[in-house]
């Protein structure tokens, strides 16, 4: 007879989330589950966090991520760090502060411009961009 394998124990939600990038929809589901586990509806959570219920609705429906200010309020209500509630918190903060693509004209120079790219791209495409930028 084959010996039984011990059951696989899933990681607790907080540990699993610390290693995960959550989409807006996943964050919404997580927020909804946390809210429901406390017996709260969206209005209850909004009141406790000092926020508008429409904001909570947007997050729960997976339409948007909270701003850093609102994420901090939500995390405080659930007695957790913002990065535990939304593991990609810092990544999103960087994206908000730096646009993915920036193009700037140089006054008086119709031949050159400045570009800035802050975006995840394939390595082969990054190499092409670098090669093109060196053709000055």
Residues 6+ apart with CB under 8 A from 20: 26, 87
Sequence spans of domains, the chain: 13-96, 99-133
What integer pLDDT is reported at residue 98 of this predicted model? 61
> Any idea which residue has 């904001």 for tokens?
55
Residues 6+ apart with CB under 8 A from 72: 82
Q: Assign 4 a pLDDT band (cuts: 50, 70, 90).
A: low
Report the percent of the chain where pLDDT is more than 90. Answer: 51
Residues 6+ apart with CB under 8 A from 49: 56, 70, 73, 74, 76, 77
What integer pLDDT is reported at residue 96 of this predicted model? 56
Q: Which CATH architecture has domain 13-96?
A: Orthogonal Bundle (1.10)
CA atoms within 13 A on the CB side of 118: 13
Size of the chain in residues: 136
Average pLDDT over residues 80-91: 84
Cα–Cα distances in Å, from 55 out to 42, 49, 59, 66? 9, 11, 6, 8
Query: In whole angstroms, what is the distance from residue 92 CA to residue 77 CA?
Result: 21
Q: Which of 25, 40, 27 is nearest to 77 (CA)?
A: 40
Average pLDDT over residues 10-30: 66
Q: What is the mean pLDDT of the chain?
A: 82
What integer pLDDT is reported at residue 11 of this predicted model? 38
């Amino acid at each position: 007879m084959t010996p039984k394998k011990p059951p696989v124990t899933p990681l607790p939600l907080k540990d699993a989330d610390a290693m995960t990038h959550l989409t807006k929809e996943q964050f919404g589901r997580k927020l909804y589950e946390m809210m429901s586990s406390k017996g709260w509806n969206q209005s209850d959570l909004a009141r406790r966090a000092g926020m508008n219920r429409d904001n909570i609705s947007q997050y729960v429906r997976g339409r948007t991520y909270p701003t850093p200010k609102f994420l901090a309020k939500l995390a405080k209500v659930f007695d957790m760090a913002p990065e535990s509630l939304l593991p990609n918190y810092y990544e999103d903060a960087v994206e908000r502060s730096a646009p993915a693509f920036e193009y700037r004209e140089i006054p008086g120079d119709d031949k050159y411009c400045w570009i800035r790219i802050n975006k995840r791209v394939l390595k082969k495409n990054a190499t092409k961009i670098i090669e093109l930028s060196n053709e000055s």
